[in-house]
Structure 1
Amino acid sequence: MIETESRFWIRKDDRSPVVDPDVIAAAPGRASPYVSKTSTVPQIVEWVRARTGLTMTKSSLYNLREGKNVTPRTAILTALGEFWRIDPRLLDPTVPASSFPYPDTEASQLDPLEQRTYDLMREVGLTSVRPREVANTFQGSTDADKLQLLGILEAMAQHRKTEHHDKP
């Protein structure tokens, strides 16, 4: 993220920051009054310090980038998330990927049987399955084949519901 997502825009004349992507896109090419820069580690560290008031060193950011620091402070992760405009949990190695929903655009491209299968897979605990994997798996399958798998998943989901319901 440091090398690829740390770009920012400033005005050529007064070096003031520009954050509106529509403004930047409206003046493309060499005639643009804006210039793109990439933030350096010292600039990012200074931004985090100013934002959080916490002590952060350049080496701590390099260690985070290289995976050496696996437990950074939450406030620093939050500030870095704000810097990159992402959910700060994405930077926390203790948060499992399954806690993030997959983009709805993939799921919306499934036919009704594939969508129901995908929903049931997630319900029975197969949270790492992506919608496109369901679509790829069903490619060339008949509706009868899809219904067989759907029946198995529905039985598993029903069993889980009754199992959880029976427990005190």
Structure 2
Amino acid sequence: MEAASPVGQANAGIAVCRGITSLCLTMIAWILALSAIIGIANDNWSTLNSELGCGLKAAFGLFVCADSCMFFLICWDGANLVILCYTQTMCNCECYHMNFSLQLASFGMLLIGAIIHGTNDPDNMNWTFWFCLTSALLCLILGIMWKITKKMKRFVKKEASGALDGMGAGVIAGMI
């Protein structure tokens, strides 16, 4: 892909913007979910170690799985951004499908875990519950963002007789 053409500049700009946004929002979601995991483990250590409270154990397991998916995506997006910035070419290993699927899987695991956690003890819906719901919302937003930017990238692939010249499509791509 040539970065000199308007289409190449637009695609590089989309890739950089999507990569940075995905990395930052996934880090925020990961930190929120990790804080909730530590809070749940600290507040309910005796329940997690006993045979009682299988609902809390199930929610805790879903939170840990979602957090693992987000950590993998942080590493993957970071590596893709490093490749993009140092080689100044787009990598074909960006894996839209993997990012989209793992973000939506994390959303589902966090949402179901938060529902289980909230119904387990409705009187004790504290900050861990809200952190997990916020993290789930961020994962949903990221999944939608990946879907929208993939559609934009497909739309931009066709050269539109200089229609991209006036849009400043190469401004972000010029930074790399």
Higher strand share: 1
Q: TM-score by structure 2 length?
A: 0.24
Larger relative contact order (C-alpha < 8 A, sep ≥ 6)? 2
The structure with the largest alpha-carbon Rg is 1
Higher helix share: 2
